[in-house]
C-alpha cells in the first residue's frame, strides 16, 4: 500500500508589532506555535531570516495599520507574502490582554489570530491616492489651526474688554474687519505686538489654506476627471468634498453594496440588543470622519438646493435636526455611489 504524500506546502504565520526603532515579530507555523524575535525596522532583514529558517514555507504576515504606514506592507507583498494590514479594532484580544499588554504579547496574538483566519485585510491605497490623502489631511489640519487662531484673537479682545463692531462680528472675517484689527491700538506696545503676531499667523494660515485647496481641486480635475465630474453633479458636493471622497475612499466601485460603503464612511447607527430589549444609538464611532464630516456639510447645502432632498428633510420635520441631517447625509452618500457605479451624472430634482 503506497504512502500518501502531502502536496500542500508548510505554512508560516507572522505577527508583527511595528514601531519606529524596533519591530517585534512572532513566528507561528501550521504545526508549531513558534517563537518571537525582534529586528531593526528593515523588511530585508525579516526576509533573510525567513528564507534561512523557513525555506519553502507559504508565508502570511499581519500588522496593525498605524504610524509607519503601508511601505512595510508593499515590501512584504513584493516578497510574495500574503500581507494583512489590519484595523487594530478588528483584532480579537483575550480579556487578560487589557491588563497585560506588551509588544511581544501583541505580536503573538496577531500571529495566532492570523493562523486561525480571524483577521480581515483593509485596502492598501496606491501611492498616488496616498499622496493625495496626505494633502487633504494637511488641509484638514490647517482648518483646525485656522479656527484656533481666530478664537485666540477674539479671546484676546474679550480679555481686554474690547467690543467688536456689530457690523463686523461675523464667523467669516471680511477685509474691513481685518483692517479694523490692523488699526486697533490696545494701549500697550506688548499688547499691540501680541495682536500683530496673531494676525500675521492668521494671514499665513489663510494663504496656505487657499493655496492647498486650489492644488487639491486642480489635481483631482486633471487626474480623476471622470469621477470628479460625476461627483460634482450632485447638489452639495463641491470641488473639495469631491476631492476628499476621491482621496479617502479611492475607487468607490470596489464596494459591492451600499451597506458596506455606508459602514466604511460611518453612516450606520450603533445598536445593542439584550433579549427583547433593542436599542439604536447615535452614529457609529467607527467611521472615516474626514469624509463623513464633509458629507454632513454637503447635506445642509443639498436640502437648500435640491427639491428631492428638501422633500426628504421636510418629511422628518419636528424631529431632532441632527438626526434628520444624518439621514439626509446617508441619502446623499447613496447618490455618490450611484453616480460612480452607473457613470451617469445626477439630475437635480430627479429621484434615483
Q: Which domains does the chain have, with CATH numbers?
A: 11-116 (3.30.420.40), 127-223 (no CATH), 226-342 (no CATH)
CB atoms within 10 A of CB 208: 15
Q: Which cell goes with 9?
A: 506546502
Count of alpha carbons within 13 Å of 337, Cβ hemisphere only? 18
d(CA 172, CA 142): 16
Residue 1 pLDDT = 46
DSSP state of 269: E
Q: Which cell goes with 73?
A: 506592507
Residue 299 pLDDT = 93
The enclosing H or E element of 245 equals helix 239-248
Residue 147 pLDDT = 95
CA-based angle 18:21:23, to the nearest 5?
Answer: 35
The enclosing H or E element of 108 equals helix 103-116
Nearest-CA neighbor of 324 among 303, 347, 307? 303
Contact 29, 11 (CB under 8 A): yes
Q: From first to last of its 352 residues, what are the pLDDT tens digits of the chain?
A: 455 555 678 999 999 999 888 999 999 998 888 888 899 999 999 999 999 999 999 999 999 988 888 999 999 999 999 999 999 888 888 777 777 788 888 999 999 999 999 999 999 999 999 999 999 999 999 999 999 999 999 999 999 999 998 888 888 899 999 999 999 999 899 999 999 999 999 999 999 999 999 999 999 999 999 999 999 999 999 999 999 999 999 999 999 999 999 999 998 877 666 666 555 666 777 888 999 999 999 999 999 998 888 888 888 877 777 888 988 999 999 999 999 999 999 986 555 5
Which of helix, strand or coil describes residue 112?
A: helix
Residue 152 pLDDT = 96
d(CA 293, CA 325): 11
DSSP secondary structure, 164-226, as one string: PPGGG--SS--HHHHHHHHH---SSHHHHHHHHHHHHHHHHHHHHHHHHHHHHHHHHHHHSHH
DSSP state of 135: H
Amino acid at each position: 500500500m503506497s504512502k500518501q504524500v502531502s502536496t500542500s506546502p508548510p505554512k508560516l504565520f507572522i505577527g508583527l508589532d511595528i514601531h519606529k526603532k524596533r519591530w517585534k515579530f512572532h513566528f507561528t507555523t501550521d504545526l508549531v506555535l513558534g517563537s518571537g524575535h525582534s529586528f531593526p525596522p528593515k523588511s530585508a532583514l525579516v526576509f533573510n531570516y525567513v528564507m534561512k529558517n523557513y525555506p519553502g514555507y507559504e508565508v502570511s504576515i499581519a500588522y496593525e495599520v498605524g504610524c509607519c504606514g503601508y511601505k512595510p506592507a508593499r515590501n512584504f507583498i513584493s516578497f510574495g507574502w500574503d500581507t494583512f494590514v489590519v484595523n487594530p479594532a478588528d483584532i480579537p484580544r483575550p480579556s487578560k490582554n487589557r491588563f497585560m499588554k506588551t509588544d511581544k504579547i501583541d505580536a503573538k496574538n496577531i500571529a495566532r489570530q492570523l493562523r486561525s483566519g480571524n483577521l480581515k485585510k483593509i485596502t492598501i491605497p496606491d501611492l498616488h491616492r496616498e499622496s493625495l490623502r496626505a494633502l487633504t489631511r494637511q488641509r484638514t489640519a490647517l482648518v483646525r489651526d485656522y479656527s484656533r487662531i481666530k478664537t485666540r484673537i477674539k479671546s484676546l479682545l474679550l480679555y481686554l474688554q474690547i467690543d467688536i463692531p456689530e457690523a463686523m462680528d461675523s464667523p467669516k472675517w471680511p477685509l474691513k474687519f481685518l483692517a479694523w484689527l490692523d488699526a486697533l491700538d490696545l494701549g500697550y506696545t506688548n499688547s499691540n505686538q501680541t495682536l500683530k503676531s496673531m494676525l500675521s499667523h492668521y494671514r499665513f494660515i489663510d494663504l496656505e489654506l487657499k493655496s492647498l485647496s486650489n492644488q487639491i481641486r486642480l489635481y483631482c480635475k486633471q487626474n480623476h476627471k471622470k469621477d470628479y465630474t460625476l461627483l460634482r453633479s450632485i447638489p452639495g458636493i463641491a470641488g473639495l468634498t469631491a476631492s476628499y471622497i476621491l482621496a479617502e475612499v479611492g475607487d468607490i466601485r470596489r464596494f459591492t453594496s451600499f451597506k458596506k460603503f455606508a459602514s466604511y464612511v460611518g453612516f450606520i447607527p450603533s445598536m445593542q440588543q439584550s433579549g427583547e430589549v433593542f436599542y439604536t444609538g447615535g452614529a457609529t464611532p467607527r467611521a472615516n470622519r474626514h469624509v463623513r464630516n464633509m458629507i454632513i456639510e454637503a447635506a445642509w447645502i443639498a436640502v437648500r438646493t435640491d427639491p428631492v432632498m428638501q422633500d426628504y428633510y421636510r418629511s422628518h420635520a419636528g424631529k431632532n435636526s441632527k438626526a434628520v441631517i444624518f439621514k439626509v447625509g446617508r441619502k446623499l452618500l447613496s447618490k455618490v455611489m450611484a453616480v460612480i457605479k452607473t457613470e451617469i451624472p445626477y439630475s437635480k430634482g430627479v429621484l434615483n
